[in-house]
Amino acid sequence: SELSVPPRRADMPIVVAAMGPRTLRLAGELADGAFLFFATPGSVGQAAAEVAAGRAISGRGPEAVRLLAYVPTCVSTDRLQAIEASRGVVAYYGRLAHYQAIFARQGFADEAECLRAAWAERDPRAAIQAVSDEMVVSLTASGSPDDVAEAIGAFADSGLDQVVLYPYPASGGALGAFRAAIDAVGPVARDLAGTVAAGGGERLTRA
Protein backbone atom coordinates (compact mmCIF):
# COMPACT_ATOMS: atom_id res chain seq x y z
CA SER A 1 0.00 0.00 0.00
CA GLU A 2 1.03 3.62 -0.49
CA LEU A 3 0.52 6.75 1.58
CA SER A 4 -1.78 9.37 0.09
CA VAL A 5 0.67 12.12 1.08
CA PRO A 6 4.47 12.13 1.00
CA PRO A 7 5.97 11.10 4.35
CA ARG A 8 7.68 13.88 6.30
CA ARG A 9 10.66 11.60 6.99
CA ALA A 10 12.07 8.45 5.43
CA ASP A 11 12.56 6.56 8.68
CA MET A 12 8.94 6.76 9.82
CA PRO A 13 8.66 5.29 13.34
CA ILE A 14 6.06 2.64 14.07
CA VAL A 15 4.22 3.38 17.31
CA VAL A 16 1.73 0.82 18.60
CA ALA A 17 -1.40 1.81 20.50
CA ALA A 18 -1.09 -0.45 23.52
CA MET A 19 -2.54 -0.83 27.01
CA GLY A 20 -2.74 -4.56 27.65
CA PRO A 21 0.30 -6.65 28.63
CA ARG A 22 0.49 -8.53 25.34
CA THR A 23 0.37 -5.48 23.09
CA LEU A 24 2.86 -3.65 25.31
CA ARG A 25 5.29 -6.56 25.08
CA LEU A 26 4.74 -6.74 21.31
CA ALA A 27 5.52 -3.03 21.03
CA GLY A 28 8.68 -3.56 23.04
CA GLU A 29 9.75 -6.45 20.86
CA LEU A 30 9.04 -5.01 17.41
CA ALA A 31 7.93 -1.36 17.38
CA ASP A 32 9.56 2.03 17.85
CA GLY A 33 7.11 3.13 20.50
CA ALA A 34 4.08 2.26 22.62
CA PHE A 35 1.19 4.71 22.90
CA LEU A 36 -0.93 4.52 26.06
CA PHE A 37 -4.48 5.86 26.41
CA PHE A 38 -6.44 6.22 29.63
CA ALA A 39 -3.31 5.51 31.63
CA THR A 40 -2.65 6.95 35.08
CA PRO A 41 0.71 8.23 36.29
CA GLY A 42 0.79 5.28 38.67
CA SER A 43 0.27 2.71 35.90
CA VAL A 44 3.07 3.93 33.65
CA GLY A 45 5.73 1.94 35.54
CA GLN A 46 3.94 -1.35 34.93
CA ALA A 47 3.47 -0.47 31.25
CA ALA A 48 7.18 0.32 30.99
CA ALA A 49 8.01 -3.05 32.57
CA GLU A 50 5.93 -4.87 29.95
CA VAL A 51 7.66 -2.93 27.16
CA ALA A 52 11.03 -3.82 28.69
CA ALA A 53 10.06 -7.50 28.72
CA GLY A 54 9.31 -7.25 25.01
CA ARG A 55 12.61 -5.51 24.33
CA ALA A 56 14.43 -8.32 26.09
CA ILE A 57 12.97 -10.83 23.64
CA SER A 58 14.55 -9.06 20.68
CA GLY A 59 17.65 -7.91 22.55
CA ARG A 60 17.01 -4.18 22.20
CA GLY A 61 18.11 -1.43 24.57
CA PRO A 62 15.93 1.12 26.41
CA GLU A 63 16.50 3.79 23.75
CA ALA A 64 14.89 1.61 21.06
CA VAL A 65 11.29 2.06 22.21
CA ARG A 66 9.61 5.28 23.34
CA LEU A 67 6.69 5.30 25.75
CA LEU A 68 4.00 7.89 25.09
CA ALA A 69 0.57 8.62 26.55
CA TYR A 70 -2.46 10.36 25.04
CA VAL A 71 -4.09 12.30 27.90
CA PRO A 72 -7.67 13.62 27.63
CA THR A 73 -7.40 17.28 28.65
CA CYS A 74 -10.11 19.77 29.58
CA VAL A 75 -9.29 23.20 31.03
CA SER A 76 -11.79 25.70 32.41
CA THR A 77 -11.88 28.42 35.03
CA ASP A 78 -15.01 26.55 36.13
CA ARG A 79 -13.40 23.38 37.49
CA LEU A 80 -16.68 21.48 37.83
CA GLN A 81 -17.61 22.24 34.23
CA ALA A 82 -14.33 20.73 33.04
CA ILE A 83 -14.83 17.65 35.23
CA GLU A 84 -18.32 17.14 33.81
CA ALA A 85 -17.08 17.47 30.24
CA SER A 86 -14.45 14.81 30.91
CA ARG A 87 -16.98 12.60 32.64
CA GLY A 88 -18.92 12.55 29.39
CA VAL A 89 -15.80 11.71 27.37
CA VAL A 90 -14.88 8.79 29.66
CA ALA A 91 -18.48 7.53 29.55
CA TYR A 92 -18.51 7.70 25.75
CA TYR A 93 -15.38 5.57 25.42
CA GLY A 94 -16.79 3.27 28.08
CA ARG A 95 -19.44 2.02 25.67
CA LEU A 96 -16.82 -0.35 24.24
CA ALA A 97 -15.73 -3.54 26.01
CA HIS A 98 -12.09 -2.78 25.20
CA TYR A 99 -12.18 0.42 27.23
CA GLN A 100 -14.23 -1.17 29.97
CA ALA A 101 -11.37 -3.66 30.37
CA ILE A 102 -8.82 -0.83 30.44
CA PHE A 103 -10.79 1.00 33.13
CA ALA A 104 -11.01 -2.17 35.21
CA ARG A 105 -7.24 -2.67 34.95
CA GLN A 106 -6.73 0.88 36.15
CA GLY A 107 -8.64 0.12 39.34
CA PHE A 108 -12.16 1.10 38.29
CA ALA A 109 -13.78 -2.31 37.95
CA ASP A 110 -17.06 -1.24 39.58
CA GLU A 111 -17.39 1.76 37.30
CA ALA A 112 -16.53 -0.40 34.28
CA GLU A 113 -19.28 -2.86 35.15
CA CYS A 114 -21.78 -0.02 35.59
CA LEU A 115 -20.74 1.36 32.21
CA ARG A 116 -21.23 -2.04 30.62
CA ALA A 117 -24.71 -2.32 32.11
CA ALA A 118 -25.68 1.25 31.18
CA TRP A 119 -24.64 0.90 27.56
CA ALA A 120 -26.28 -2.52 27.33
CA GLU A 121 -29.51 -0.67 28.15
CA ARG A 122 -28.57 2.15 25.74
CA ASP A 123 -28.79 4.62 28.61
CA PRO A 124 -26.18 7.36 28.13
CA ARG A 125 -27.34 9.24 31.22
CA ALA A 126 -26.70 6.20 33.41
CA ALA A 127 -23.33 5.76 31.71
CA ILE A 128 -22.30 9.31 32.62
CA GLN A 129 -23.46 8.76 36.19
CA ALA A 130 -21.34 5.59 36.34
CA VAL A 131 -18.12 7.58 35.94
CA SER A 132 -16.86 8.64 39.37
CA ASP A 133 -14.99 11.86 40.11
CA GLU A 134 -11.95 9.78 41.07
CA MET A 135 -12.06 8.08 37.68
CA VAL A 136 -12.14 11.42 35.86
CA VAL A 137 -9.29 12.90 37.89
CA SER A 138 -7.15 9.75 37.54
CA LEU A 139 -7.61 9.11 33.81
CA THR A 140 -7.71 12.68 32.49
CA ALA A 141 -6.18 16.09 33.06
CA SER A 142 -9.28 18.10 33.91
CA GLY A 143 -10.20 21.15 35.93
CA SER A 144 -8.73 24.58 36.48
CA PRO A 145 -5.51 25.63 34.74
CA ASP A 146 -3.58 24.80 37.92
CA ASP A 147 -5.28 21.38 38.17
CA VAL A 148 -4.36 20.53 34.59
CA ALA A 149 -0.77 21.75 34.90
CA GLU A 150 -0.34 19.58 38.00
CA ALA A 151 -1.89 16.55 36.30
CA ILE A 152 0.26 16.86 33.18
CA GLY A 153 3.31 17.37 35.36
CA ALA A 154 2.53 14.10 37.13
CA PHE A 155 2.30 12.29 33.79
CA ALA A 156 5.55 13.87 32.61
CA ASP A 157 7.29 12.76 35.82
CA SER A 158 5.95 9.20 35.60
CA GLY A 159 8.61 7.89 33.23
CA LEU A 160 6.94 8.71 29.91
CA ASP A 161 9.06 9.88 27.02
CA GLN A 162 6.24 12.09 25.77
CA VAL A 163 2.83 13.26 26.92
CA VAL A 164 0.37 14.08 24.12
CA LEU A 165 -2.63 16.20 25.06
CA TYR A 166 -6.11 15.43 23.75
CA PRO A 167 -7.82 18.80 24.36
CA TYR A 168 -11.58 19.28 24.18
CA PRO A 169 -13.75 22.14 25.44
CA ALA A 170 -15.76 22.40 28.63
CA SER A 171 -17.74 24.94 26.60
CA GLY A 172 -17.12 26.74 23.34
CA GLY A 173 -15.10 25.50 20.40
CA ALA A 174 -12.09 23.29 19.80
CA LEU A 175 -9.69 26.18 19.10
CA GLY A 176 -10.41 27.64 22.52
CA ALA A 177 -9.78 24.24 24.08
CA PHE A 178 -6.35 24.04 22.44
CA ARG A 179 -5.46 27.56 23.56
CA ALA A 180 -6.59 26.87 27.12
CA ALA A 181 -4.54 23.67 27.24
CA ILE A 182 -1.44 25.43 25.89
CA ASP A 183 -1.81 28.28 28.37
CA ALA A 184 -2.28 25.86 31.28
CA VAL A 185 0.52 23.48 30.39
CA GLY A 186 2.97 26.02 28.97
CA PRO A 187 4.98 26.40 32.20
CA VAL A 188 5.27 22.61 32.50
CA ALA A 189 6.28 22.31 28.85
CA ARG A 190 9.01 24.92 29.25
CA ASP A 191 10.56 22.83 32.01
CA LEU A 192 10.12 19.60 30.03
CA ALA A 193 10.90 20.70 26.49
CA GLY A 194 10.02 18.00 23.97
CA THR A 195 8.11 15.91 26.51
CA VAL A 196 4.68 17.52 26.11
CA ALA A 197 2.80 17.95 22.83
CA ALA A 198 -0.72 18.78 21.69
CA GLY A 199 -2.86 16.21 19.91
CA GLY A 200 -1.94 17.55 16.50
CA GLY A 201 1.74 17.13 17.29
CA GLU A 202 2.41 20.78 18.19
CA ARG A 203 5.19 21.16 20.74
CA LEU A 204 3.99 23.05 23.78
CA THR A 205 7.15 25.08 24.19
CA ARG A 206 7.66 28.81 23.96
CA ALA A 207 10.62 31.03 23.25
> Bigger pLDDT: 32 or 207?
32
Percent of the chain with pLDDT over 90: 75
- CATH number 1.10.10.10 given to 15-197: no
pLDDT digits (tens, 9 = 90+) for 66-103: 999 999 999 999 999 999 999 999 999 999 999 999 99
Counting residues of the chain whose pLDDT is more than 70, the rounded percentage is 90
- Asked whether residue 204 carries a pLDDT value surpassing 50, the answer given is no
Instruction: Compute the mean pLDDT over every residue in the chain, rounded to the nearest whole number.
Output: 89
Q: Quick check: 15 and 33 in contact, CB under 8 A?
A: yes
Residue with the larger pLDDT of the pair 176 and 61: 61
Average the pLDDT over 49-58 and give the result: 97
In this prediction the pTM is: 0.84
Task: Compare 140 and 8 and report the one with higher pLDDT.
Answer: 140
Residue 167 has pLDDT above 70, yes or no: yes
- Average pLDDT of span 114-128: 98
CB 191 within 8 A of CB 205: no
pLDDT at site 50: 98
Residue 175, CA distances (Å) to 4, 187, 198 in order: 27, 20, 12
- Please report which confidence band the pLDDT of residue 199 belongs to, taking 50, 70 and 90 as the band edges: low
Q: Is the pLDDT of residue 203 over 60?
A: no
Cα–Cα distance for residue pair 103/125, rounded to 1 Å: 19
Evaluate if residue 150 carries a pLDDT over 60: yes
Q: Give the model confidence (pLDDT) of 13-40 as tens digits.
A: 999 999 999 999 999 999 999 999 999 9
Domain boundaries along the sequence of the chain: 15-197
Q: Are 147 and 170 in contact (CB under 8 A)?
A: no
Task: Locate all alpha helices (DSSP H) within the chain, ordered by sequence.
Answer: 21-30, 44-58, 79-93, 97-105, 109-120, 124-130, 133-139, 145-156, 174-191
